[in-house]
Chain A
Amino acid sequence: MGLLKNVWVFADKASPLAELCAGGRQLGEKVTAVVLGTEESAQQAIKRGADQVYWLGSKAEDKMFEDYTCTIAGLLAKHRPELLLVNASKRTKVVAGRLAAILGASVITNAIEFRTGEHNGDLQVSHIVYGGLAVRLEKPLSDIAIATVGNGVFRAETDSNRQGSIIEPPFVEDSCKLRLLESRVKDTESVNLASAARVVGVGRGIGKQEGLAMVYELAKKLKAEVACTRPVAEEEKWMSPERYIGVSGAMIKPDMYLALGISGQIQHMTGAKGARVIIAVNKDINAPIFEQADYGLVGDMYKVVPALMKNQF
């Protein structure tokens, strides 16, 4: 694969930024990171793979994250990298979209794979469409291409000896401001499903929230993370939204995925089918998951889980 000349990366959190820097290294000769945060985070970016950092400073008290869009737009317009990688958070989607409109740049969202061709500029990006039914391969046609990238697509790396330059560009006042009146932190769990080696997933088949206790215990025994389907998190609210696997949630690539009471709908399985081994337990012999699993058992999970618990793994 040929490399692009210049790849820029930008994220609203350190962990995704690290992944994108690694991605930049894979795709480009030179990686530039735009960092909003402490000086230490700017230096970290270099260790993670950036050759150069535009450090915007720490986010000012009276500014919103999105207010830095015009500054970033100016930098991109001046330096014109072929590709900007952005993580896929709600905030950065706003930045990406506004940049696309300002610069006339193509946007490809939730990119899962990048290919660079023989020639410079032969960039192709794939992403999931139709709720997981298909993968679309696209070619950006504009000078600058922007891609939003989910967690886990690239694997972060560290080289503590790496050197690079940090530049502090001037702040450019944003054209359209909103006023932040208040900010409340949500009670969220910090869970990293994308890097879990083993995952136990729970679906509607669990029937009631009380059933989760035994699942957590089993997961502990298996040294696995616990996850769920979207309805369990968003509709029943029995687990936090960070734990749901699916085309609009977490995409996992574990060594083993144990699916309990999950029917196997495409929106969920798209997130889980990266697993090396899939094991499914479901009461319904016709559940689609059995066609997508390596091992399946047709039965009541309330019988199976306690029985599994009696074993050593």
Chain B
Amino acid sequence: MDFRKTEEQELLLESIQELVERNVPESYIKECDEKCLPLTKLQEALIESGFIMIGIPEEYGGTPVDVTTMVLIGELMSSLGVGHSMLSNALQVDDALSFCSPEQQKVVMHYLLTTGINAFCLGITEPQAGSDNGAIATTAVRRGDGKVVINGHKCFITNADRAPYIMCVARTENPIDERHKFSMWLVPMNSPGIKIRHMHKVGIRMSTLCEVYLEDVVVDETALMGKDGYGFIQLMKNFEVERLIIAASSLGMAEGAYNDAVAYANQRVQFGKPIGSYQLIQEKIVRMAIKIENMKNIVYKTAWEKDNNIDISISSALAKLYCSEAAFEVCDEAMQLFGGIGYTSEHRVSRFWRDSRMHRIGGGTNEIMIHVAGRAILKKFK
């Protein structure tokens, strides 16, 4: 088995690493994290260099890449401390381009190229509808004059206060059957009737989290995204790859924390010796190394499967589940290794710890991953 990266992948990763090192110093990342600001310098650099177009279809001027390359990029950027939002963006944009109307596509591409972010935030979750997204209650009612009235309450919406639009998932009026209950609407965030309330997150603070209230919000019928009733079906294209990106991001954060920790173990002197010479520290490091090795293997292999048209419905769930848990354990041990300073914001290991915790919840909770994978495995064995 050839586990090597291709030369093209190596060159690409070197370029991206240099881009991040040139434009996004740790002091800036720390500041953005503290103040809940986006990494504007990174976005600008990604736009200027053209890297923002990675993963975007060729017809729109983008450079499609295979899933393996995508996870390598996600891993690298997360290990450098800047997160994987560039790739999540790319996947969401790719989704949208596959079902949006031409006008909507223009809007999406324009925003990506000028701001580096996706034009719409994902308005799916509601207070009573998290894992159980069948319980979504937002309504979209056609008024008869070419307009639609939307009412609802969304929560945990990432970057709702920054995106110009929300992709609002609402119940379909007169659905043809059980499987076609939801539709998606591209709603301008500055529409009258929309109110936002910020929620304060513990980690991943460079993106915001909001509640969005939609009270008699009026949009054009042309705001429909894709086909009526095809809401979640339209999102099927990339949802497994999304899990894989999250897994890669977890892996990257673990690597970042691990690299910092091992370097520190060689530097920090207590009782006259570097702490790396003590066996308890060595054990921590070894067990972290094993987890990272496992995470790499599961992420790279699942990506390879997807690139070779092998079904990854089970393996993507396993990868997401395992990596989000293992990465948090690695970050946690890394923080322990750092001791006191690891618990402060002086050192970035605390940020890796806070950020990596999220992945056990977001992107489909780990409990849902077990539910999905468990049933599928048992079915296979029947």
> Quick check: do A and B touch in the complex, using CB within 8 A?
yes
Chain A interfacial positions (CB closer than 8 Å to B)? 284-286
Give chain B interface residues in 244-298, CB to chain A under 8 Å: 266-267, 269
Residue tally, chain B, CB below 8 Å to A: 3
Q: With a CB–CB cut-off of 8 A, which chain B residues contact A285?
A: 267, 269
Q: Is the interface of A mostly helix, strand, loop or mixed?
A: loop
> What are 5 inter-chain pairs, A to B, with CB distance below 8 A?
A284-B267, A285-B267, A285-B269, A286-B266, A286-B267
Q: Is the interface of B mostly helix, strand, loop or mixed?
A: helix
Q: With A and B bound together, what is the CA distance between A284 and B267 in angstroms?
A: 9
Q: With A and B bound together, what is the CA distance between A285 and B273 in angstroms?
A: 12
Q: With a CB–CB cut-off of 8 A, which chain A residues contact B266?
A: 286
Q: Tell me the smallest distance from the CB of B9 to a CB of chain A, in Å.
A: 29
Q: With a CB–CB cut-off of 8 A, which chain A residues contact B269?
A: 285
Q: With A and B bound together, what is the CA distance between A266 and B327 in angstroms?
A: 37
Q: With A and B bound together, what is the CA distance between A284 and B266 in angstroms?
A: 12
Which chain A residue has the least Cβ–Cβ distance from B263?
A286
Q: With a CB–CB cut-off of 8 A, which chain B residues contact A284?
A: 267
Q: With A and B bound together, what is the CA distance between A286 and B269 in angstroms?
A: 9
Which chain A residue has the least Cβ–Cβ distance from B269?
A285
Give chain B interface residues in 187-226, CB to chain A under 8 Å: none
Q: With A and B bound together, what is the CA distance between A61 and B267 in angstroms?
A: 60
Q: Tell me the smallest distance from the CB of A290 to a CB of chain B, in Å.
A: 12
Q: With A and B bound together, what is the CA distance between A286 and B267 in angstroms?
A: 6
Q: With A and B bound together, what is the CA distance between A215 and B266 in angstroms?
A: 32
Which chain A residue has the least Cβ–Cβ distance from B274?
A286
Q: With A and B bound together, what is the CA distance between A200 and B266 in angstroms?
A: 30
Q: With a CB–CB cut-off of 8 A, which chain B residues contact A286?
A: 266-267
Binary CB contact string for chain B from 308 to 339 against chain A (1 if under 8 A, 0 otherwise) = 00000000000000000000000000000000
Which chain B residue has the least Cβ–Cβ distance from A284?
B267
Q: With A and B bound together, what is the CA distance between A286 and B268 in angstroms?
A: 8
Q: With a CB–CB cut-off of 8 A, which chain A residues contact B267?
A: 284-286
Q: With A and B bound together, what is the CA distance between A286 and B266 in angstroms?
A: 9
Q: Tell me the smallest distance from the CB of B272 to a CB of chain A, in Å.
A: 12
Q: With A and B bound together, what is the CA distance between A208 and B63 in angstroms?
A: 42
Which chain B residue has the least Cβ–Cβ distance from A285?
B269
Q: Tell me the smallest distance from the CB of A28 to a CB of chain B, in Å.
A: 49
Q: Tell me the smallest distance from the CB of A303 to a CB of chain B, in Å.
A: 19
5 tightest A-B CB contacts, nearest first: A286-B267, A285-B269, A285-B267, A286-B266, A284-B267
Q: Tell me the smallest distance from the CB of B274 to a CB of chain A, in Å.
A: 8
Which chain B residue has the least Cβ–Cβ distance from A298?
B269
Q: With A and B bound together, what is the CA distance between A129 and B266 in angstroms?
A: 30
